[in-house]
């Protein structure tokens, strides 16, 4: 089959980009004997997932470079901080994913093509939480 004869199906495109930061926290709402009630830290991995039905030239959902302000926010506001001291909520991965989605939508999404679909926060290699953004 020749490449020119392939019919392109309709649908949506999606991209993802991972970012990392180091931070500590404790979950004061847990029983004192729970290990997460004590101060501890994580090498957090955050992934943003964006979608679009049409691509921007030269064929992007969003240029990965346009996501740099999100990385800068993570570096300046969260990296090497105690999350329970700076965030206005109990810093679980679930709430952190929702918070980061809110920051992304308010500060970055208006300036870039593509729509944020989800934010995934990974605390460890085997533990993660994902917040899916409702389509408006």
Is 66 in contact with 110 (CB distance < 8 Å)?
A: no
The angle at the Cα of 70, spanning 69 to 74, to the nearest 5 degrees, equals: 115
Which of 36, 84, 90, 94 is an active site residue?
Answer: 36
Structure tokens at 16: 């993802």
Residue written as tokens 């990965």? 64
CB-based burial of residue 122 (10 Å sphere; 0-12 exposed, 13-18 middle, 19+ buried)? buried
Read off the tokens for 83. Answer: 């999350």
DSSP label at residue 56: B
2 annotated among ligand-binding-site residues: no
Is 80 among the residues known to form the active site? yes
Q: Which of 22, 34, 77, 80 is catalytic?
A: 80
81 is in an annotated binding site: no
Catalytic residues: 36, 80, 123
Binding site listing for Zn(2+): 25, 40, 42
Binding site listing: 25, 40, 42
């Amino acid at each position: 089959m020749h490449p020119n004869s392939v019919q392109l199906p309709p649908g949506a495109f999606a991209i993802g980009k991972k970012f990392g930061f180091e931070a500590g926290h404790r979950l004061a709402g847990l029983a004192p004997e729970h290990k997460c009630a004590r101060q501890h830290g994580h090498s957090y991995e955050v992934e943003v997932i964006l979608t679009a039905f049409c691509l921007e030239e030269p064929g992007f959902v969003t240029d990965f470079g346009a996501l740099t302000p999100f990385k800068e926010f993570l570096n300046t506001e969260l990296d090497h901080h105690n999350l329970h001291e700076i965030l206005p909520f109990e810093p679980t991965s679930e709430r952190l994913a929702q918070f980061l989605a809110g920051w992304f939508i308010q500060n970055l999404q208006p300036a870039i093509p593509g729509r944020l679909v989800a934010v995934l926060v990974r605390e460890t290699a085997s533990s993660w939480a994902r917040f899916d953004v409702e389509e408006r």
